């Protein structure tokens, strides 16, 4: 029994210290001192102001461009098979279909090639003696359009990261729109110009160098120049590093960085690469990049398709550098650097991934690489459909009103609990304070963004947290009225109230999960805060408050508390 009491006290203290660790960075600069966490709570657009943009993605033009590239590819492949085409064109009167005209004697060759190369992407619409008509499968076209949106989102995210905006919100809206929210952003024109800049993709050979030696050089110039990765924008940091390393780096080489496997961002972990500036291949020769699966083991991989000039360039670069690594670089960030195993002259290649992770992790990484590659290879026109600038005064006004409402509500609740339940009311209030700190600490640790709906979620958390303590205290009063001793009343009060508390929190949690799954934007923010509030309520207002009462009775000899 004593051991169980010690375990509960230990868990309560552990939870308390974790809450403190998570919350402290919000009011102390922990970057200059050692602290387990350096994350701060981010405020949403509705609180701190910023820029709200809705961008239209010209998906149809990308599809048309895809058909044009498809026609070019088919012509090259037909030529390689010695098939003489009379005509190969996209039908103008029925956009989305290609017509292939040929000599009747070559029909078998044409059908064989189309079945071999395009059986999963093109369906045959018409089959005549000397004319075949094909179009994309509806499922493939739907997936392709979705990939265009995702690559546009990736492109925008790459550009916004350069701006250093904390927690930008970039999401798909409908079939052809992207919502961009930039909290704290005031320079709207620069932001829009940056968003509309096409990403730059390159294939660059890696100059093999001892990674530790390269890392030591970087550390040395950082200390000498009194700067680091966090103090500069990524492009400025890369330019500064390469400028300071002149004389140490080989000619026509440059240092770029890759996000390390276990890190969430370049800032938290990065790997330096020395890449060659000569002999690189531009990303505009890439037609497509998508996730496929290894036919032998079924593991995810990234498949690449090059256009005609890219096929020749890729053949040369791989044939002359077998055994070396080829870095895939998007906006000066290394996305992956696989080894070249053999010469590739087919115009198609695959990037295999390490096998140290599970299938889901490998699939996510493959999707990320493919999306990044497409973001550089297939930039699309973005049209600004809507712009709203939320001034910081509006956000500040919202904060003041929310703070005022919270303060008045908290004072009323604190006074009610003290007047109604005396000493147990004080313990309930202390637990409630820890509960709110716990919500903010978890939001901070998760890197979440606090919005006005999130503040509403915190207010609701206060409501059902107090409700839990009211149930407990009323149960204790019932036991005391029956003549039970205080220790038994505490035990029975918490025990009998627990079923009602769990029922209320489970049903609230189920509602929050539905909101989280089906909701978007503000609704999701409210749901996340609500779910966190349920967890902190069960810890602070139920578990921690019980431990606190037990410590007062068993360690400090308190015989009775007014309730």
Tokens of 531: 């779910």
Mean pLDDT, rounded, for 119-139 = 88
Does the reported pTM lie above 0.95? Answer: no
Cα Rg for the chain, rounded, in angstroms? Answer: 31
- Determine the angle formed by the axes of helices 59-80 and 107-118, rounding to 10 degrees: 130
Indicate the length of the chain as a whole number.
Answer: 563
- CA 212 from chain centre, in angstroms, equals 30
Q: Which residue has the higher pLDDT, 160 or 260?
A: 260
Instruction: Check: CB of residue 185 under 8 Å from CB of residue 51.
Output: yes
Distance CA 28, CA 48 (A): 20
- Per-residue confidence (pLDDT) for residue 539, from 0 to 100: 93
Express each pLDDT in 169-216 by its tens digit: 788 888 888 888 877 766 666 666 667 665 567 888 998 887 788 888
Instruction: Check: CB of residue 47 under 8 Å from CB of residue 450.
Output: yes
Sequence-separated (6 or more) residues with CB below 8 Å from residue 139: none
- Residue 118: pLDDT above 60? yes
Q: Which of 189, 12, 36 is nearest to 545 (CA)?
A: 12
H helices within 268-391, ranges in order?
308-319, 359-377
Instruction: Check: CB of residue 121 under 8 Å from CB of residue 40.
Output: no
Mean pLDDT, rounded, for 76-89 = 83
Mean pLDDT, rounded, for 242-253 = 87
- Per-residue confidence (pLDDT) for residue 377, from 0 to 100: 47
- Per-residue confidence (pLDDT) for residue 159, from 0 to 100: 66
At residue 335, the 3 state secondary structure works out as strand
Distance CA 99, CA 134 (A): 7
- Per-residue confidence (pLDDT) for residue 93, from 0 to 100: 59
Tell the burial category of 116 from Cβ atoms under 10 Å away from its Cβ (0-12, 13-18, 19+). Answer: exposed
Q: Where are the domains of the chain?
A: 2-49+392-554, 60-141, 198-383
- Residue 162: pLDDT above 80? no
Mean pLDDT, rounded, for 432-447 = 89
- Per-residue confidence (pLDDT) for residue 152, from 0 to 100: 79
Give the DSSP letter string of 55-75: EEE-HHHHHHHHHHHHHHHHH
At residue 173, the 3 state secondary structure works out as strand
Sheet holding 382-390, edge to edge: 169-173, 177-183, 50-57, 382-390
CATH of 60-141, one of 3.30.420, 3.30.1360, 1.10.287, 3.30.470: 3.30.1360
β pairing state of 169-173 and 177-183: antiparallel
Question: Per-residue confidence at 147, pLDDT binned at 50, 70, 90?
Answer: confident
Which of 142-151, 396-405, 468-477 has the least mean pLDDT?
Answer: 396-405
- Residue 551: pLDDT above 60? yes
Mean pLDDT, rounded, for 522-533 = 87
At residue 304, the 3 state secondary structure works out as strand
- Residue 339: pLDDT above 80? yes
Instruction: Check: CB of residue 88 under 8 Å from CB of residue 101.
Output: yes
- Residue 396: pLDDT above 70? no
Question: Per-residue confidence at 378, pLDDT binned at 50, 70, 90?
Answer: very low
State which H helix or E strand residue 53 sits in: strand 50-57
Q: What angle do CA 244, 248, 249 make, to 5 degrees?
A: 90
Instruction: Check: CB of residue 452 under 8 Å from CB of residue 523.
Output: no
Instruction: Check: CB of residue 494 under 8 Å from CB of residue 542.
Output: yes
CATH topology for the 2-49+392-554 domain? Multidrug efflux transporter AcrB transmembrane fold (1.20.1640)
Tokens of 538: 């069960």
The CA-atom distances, in angstroms, between 72 and each of 110, 239, 300 are 15, 39, 28
3-state secondary structure 312-334: HHHHHHHHCCCCCEEEEEECCEE
Which of 94-98, 109-113, 342-346, 521-525 has the least mean pLDDT?
Answer: 94-98
**CATH number assigned to the domain covering 198-383:** 3.30.1360.200
Q: Which residue has the higher pLDDT, 193 or 287?
A: 287
Instruction: Check: CB of residue 454 under 8 Å from CB of residue 433.
Output: no
- Per-residue confidence (pLDDT) for residue 425, from 0 to 100: 92
């Amino acid at each position: 029994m004593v051991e169980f009491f010690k375990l509960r006290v230990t868990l309560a203290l552990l939870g308390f210290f974790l809450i403190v660790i998570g919350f402290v960075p919000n009011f102390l600069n922990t970057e200059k001192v050692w602290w387990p966490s350096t994350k701060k709570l981010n405020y949403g657009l509705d609180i701190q102001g910023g820029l709200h943009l809705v961008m239209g993605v010209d998906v149809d033009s990308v599809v048309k461009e895809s058909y044009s590239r498809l026609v070019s590819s088919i012509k090259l492949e037909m030529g390689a098979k010695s098939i003489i085409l009379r005509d190969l064109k996209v039908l103008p009167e029925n956009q989305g279909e290609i017509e292939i005209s040929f000599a009747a004697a070559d029909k078998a060759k044409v059908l064989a090639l189309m079945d071999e190369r395009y059986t999963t992407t093109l369906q045959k619409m018409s089959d005549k003696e000397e004319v075949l008509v094909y179009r994309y499968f509806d499922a493939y076209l739907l997936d392709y359009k979705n990939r265009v949106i995702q690559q546009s989102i990736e492109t925008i995210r790459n550009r916004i990261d350069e701006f250093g905006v904390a927690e930008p919100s970039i999401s798909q809206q409908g079939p052809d729109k992207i919502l961009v929210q930039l909290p704290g952003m005031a320079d709207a024109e620069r932001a829009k110009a940056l968003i509309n800049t096409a990403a730059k993709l390159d294939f660059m050979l890696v100059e093999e160098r001892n990674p530790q030696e390269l890392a030591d050089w970087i550390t040395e110039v950082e200390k000498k120049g009194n700067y680091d990765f966090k103090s500069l924008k990524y492009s400025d940091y890369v330019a500064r590093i390469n400028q300071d390393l002149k004389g140490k780096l080989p000619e026509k080489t440059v240092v770029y960085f890759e996000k390390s496997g276990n890190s969430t961002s370049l800032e938290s972990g990065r790997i330096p690469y020395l890449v060659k500036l000569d002999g690189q291949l531009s990303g505009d020769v890439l037609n497509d990049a998508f996730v496929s699966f290894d036919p032998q083991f079924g593991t995810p991989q990234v498949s690449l398709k090059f256009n005609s000039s890219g096929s020749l360039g890729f053949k040369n670069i791989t044939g002359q550098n077998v055994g070396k690594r080829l870095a895939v670089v998007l906006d000066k960030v290394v996305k992956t650097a696989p080894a070249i195993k053999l010469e590739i002259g087919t115009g198609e290649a695959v990037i295999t991934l390490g096998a140290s992770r599970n299938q889901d992790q490998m699939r996510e990484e493959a999707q990320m690489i493919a999306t990044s590659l497409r973001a550089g290879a297939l930039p699309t026109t973005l049209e600004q459909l809507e712009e709203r600038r939320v001034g910081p005064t509006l956000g500040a006004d919202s904060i003041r009103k929310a703070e005022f409402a919270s303060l008045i509500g908290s004072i009323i609740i604190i006074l009610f609990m003290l007047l109604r339940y005396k000493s147990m009311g004080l313990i309930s209030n202390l637990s409630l304070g820890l509960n709110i700190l716990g919500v903010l600490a978890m939001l901070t640790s998760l890197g979440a963004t606090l919005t006005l709906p999130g503040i509403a979620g915190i207010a609701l958390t206060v409501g059902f947290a107090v409700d839990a303590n009211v149930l407990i205290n009323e149960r204790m009063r019932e036991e005391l009225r029956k003549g039970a001793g205080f220790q038994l009343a505490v035990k029975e009060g918490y025990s009998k109230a627990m079923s009602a508390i769990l029922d209320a929190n489970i049903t609230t949690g189920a509602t929050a999960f539905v909101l989280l799954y089906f909701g978007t934007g503000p609704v999701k923010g409210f749901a996340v805060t609500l779910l966190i509030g349920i967890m902190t309520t069960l810890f602070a207002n139920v578990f921690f408050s019980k431990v606190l009462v037990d410590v007062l009775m068993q360690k400090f000899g308190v015989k009775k508390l007014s309730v």
